[in-house]
Structure 1
Amino acid sequence: MQLSSNEHNNFSLARFESMLKTNSVLFFDSEEFEEIVQHYLENGKMALAKKATKLGLEQHPTSTNLKLFQIEMYIFENQLDVADELLDALYLLEQSNEEIYIQKANIFSRRDKHKEAITLLEQALAITDDEADVLSLLGMEYLFMEDYENAKHYFMKCLEQDEEDYSALYNIIYCFEYLEEYEAAIDYLNDFLNKNPYSEVAWHQVGKQYFELKDFKKALAAFEFAIISDDSFIGAYLEKGKVLEKLKKYEEAIESYSITLGLDDPTSYALLRIGKCYEKLGNSEMALQFFTKCVEEDSLLDKGWIAITDFYFKSKQYQKALYYIEKAINIDGENVLYWKRYAKINNRLSLFEEAEVGYRKALELGNYELESWITRGDILINLGEYDAAINNFNQSLEFYPEHPEVEYRLAGLYFTLNQNERGVFHLKNALKAEPDYIMIIEELFPSVFEMKIVKEIIDKHENPSL
């Protein structure tokens, strides 16, 4: 009885693994070794793939395919010089093997020499029987070069060769989207759908283009066609839910998101969106229930923690909001969105030292919004930390030069510290930029506002002829 191809592969694999366990040496023909190596590579078992390649070359030292596998593994491990040398030796023996050109191109690509890689791939394209694979590689090289027109061209040619190559279709649409050619993308997808009317992926992509164009009704129709084509397509239900939210049809959006929960394990995104929909419907109890499920499902999703925190903050339950944002910070202490909320909540609770820490941390993490600089500075003023407040506002001027809200505060601080020359400089800057903001000094530094020197500068600005 002759074994089928799959049974033969499994038999070879079992013999090989038995050989490794018993430390014995069994003979395999070169094709068997190739199938074994390919199996391990496809399953991410690199150590076993290397072992099989080594043993294969010991038994079949002239096997080109096994040598190419060896080269591929050297490239994967970034041992490019070794791989290059082996390829050069192989090229002298077989100049018509397209895989040699492809691997050589791979090395050039790894070295960011994409033009050279393209030249070699064009040579491979001229001799290959598998044009789709090489066309896809050419498209990727042009993507690396950010040449989206050429990348799109090659991915389109690739899809012409294999209409089921959805990775090529996704890459084509990525190029259209990067070039902001949404209508052209729709035209291309419609042509594709004329030949493949039940392609759920194409309908899904049409919907996404209409969504970008804010044509939500057409987007909704496209996602519904995607679902008709494949009623288990989770991505289409999620996108449909997003569109229904835009159309303010929150109950229908909940229904669409909820279907995904029954198709697979619940996704934190679907749980979050259901919670948001309930919140917009005014159903606080259900909103909170789904926000809680969301963070239980995925504690790393910052939007989930932010949703719970903002829910309690809006309802003025600041202690509960603080409890959840502290939990979030314990999970990810480098998230600027968490620290901003931590600062605002503590500020509302009049916990000013903690609020200052939150704003300082947010600024250190790159949140350079004017509001953060000003609120932190005002907290430092209230705490009597005038030098720290001055340092804070001077740093903010690097991002917001001569901003009147900052200039008035610096003027007030310098006058408070009897550094009148600096106080005059910043007060004049502030008056020149926005005289109506003088109330900042009046509110934050009432004693400074009453100073004779300050009154004179204000009067002179209002009445230049005096």
Structure 2
Amino acid sequence: MKHLIQKIKKNYIHLNCYIVRGYFINQNSTKSRPMKIRNIILSASLALISASAPLFAGYYEQGRSYYTYKKYDKAKEMFLKAAETSDSGDAYYFLGEIEKLQGKYREAEEYYKTAIAKKNISRQYLINAYWNAVVLAEQREDYESVIKLCREMWQKTGEGGARQKIESLINKLLWTDNSDAIDKYREGIELKKNGKTNESLSRFYDSLRFAPSFLAPKFEIGMIAYKSGDLDLTASYLSEIAASIPFYTDVRVILAEIYFTRHRYQAAIDHYGKILEFGFIDSAAEYRIRVKLAICYYNTNDFEDSEKEIEKALLFRGKSVELLLLLSAVKIKTGKYDEALKALHKAKSADPENPEVLYQLGSIYYKENDARYGSYFDRLFDLVSGKKSHQPKYTKVFIILAKNHLENKNYSRVIGIIKALDEKSQSYETSLLAAKAFYHLKKYDEAIDYFEKISLGNEDKYLLCKAYALSGRREKAKSILHELFYAGEYLSKAKQDPALAGIAQEIEKDKPIKAPDTEKKAEEKNLDVKDKQEKSLPEKNPESEDEKK
């Protein structure tokens, strides 16, 4: 092989020595024959490359040489070998060029797309491959492929022409061939520019009478309706455009927000998905869309997809309290409380004073019968109690907190919590908690005020009886103790109580006559009051994130 190469090289050099002024001297003849230098060099060059390629040229270089001289079959053979051995994007690009030149457009398009997918490709060939694939897709009227290719080209290369191409395509699809419709549309645009909105609307409707499928005036009508706040009319016209031009992301952004605001989450999901698929959006916009999608999926009980969107959004903002809260809500919904706590503690590290984080942490610990719930609800109360208003769900946990402090004999804290609740939040339970707290603080008059507002069970009646006695209202105390005479061991208990002993002795001396069914009625009333107390308490469940609005 080496001997053959050396021989060809020698002949090649020897050959060039006889090229003078465009003539080739034939040594076996006395005559000179004119011959084009280009053909001589071409023949010699191809012979040299073919023989020496395994040593210094490579398949790709051979393919380029064959391609230059339009020997496409040989070029294709070399490019295929280059692609197999080096995974060269450039080789696939030239394979696409060869197929295109031979009229095999689908094959060419596939080679261009393969070239685009390769990491090892020259920038210019990458851009050329994109544009060629775009042209071929557009020839097939595969507009979605055109948009995807342009969007990908813009993301990879920053090629500004990619965005312009999409705008041009959208404008083309919005248009019509009906000249009368076009004239009316243009009249409407001029009127709109001059601030004559109502007159412009009339022209746009006139345009549609000539060409009902003309999308440009429908867009204008939809946008005028949007600016005036008529979202039903906006959605009607823009939805028609979105159906005809799925990749018109400006329209889809408006529709997505309309449906999201109206809690039509499935419709919003469809539009947000198309924006991600076709839109020219930056990282900030993608983050916002991912968050909205996560909320939509959450509110349609698709917790798996909600979590996926949260994870994607966290790649942009890993410490987003909003996202971590939503993630915890998803985990709570699926019963994964340990994972919910992990997300919430991460959120607390990012924002220690966030009320919703404290609320969620306290709710889970309460559900798990973990005493730590009290510290989180206490901090939540301190943060929001001074504000004019707070979320109604916080009131529920404040009542739980007050009950916890009552059990732990923190009576002043109970009073502080109950008094901080607005009038609408006051209930049977809050009155009873306040009454007991005041009683234990020996503020009997205040305790009596709260006791008298509500129906009481026998145990609480006994406390009221003592409050009456300790505040000097002896007759009222005696009246209640009379009621409790046949309701249990209250008289015996009163005899042992210094505040009630004298009254108990008087009642026992008088021996009140037992009315028919008195004991039974007293017990029934006591059960009824107990049931009312239980119903007024919040359920012992963690509150997951409210439905996102």
Structure with greater helix percent: 1
Asked which structure has the greater RCO (Cα within 8 Å, sep 6+), the reply is 2
TM-score class, shorter = 0.3 to 0.5
TM-score by length of 1: 0.46
Question: For the pair shown, which has the larger CA radius of gyration, 1 or 2?
Answer: 2
**Alignment TM-score, normalising by the size of structure 2:** 0.40
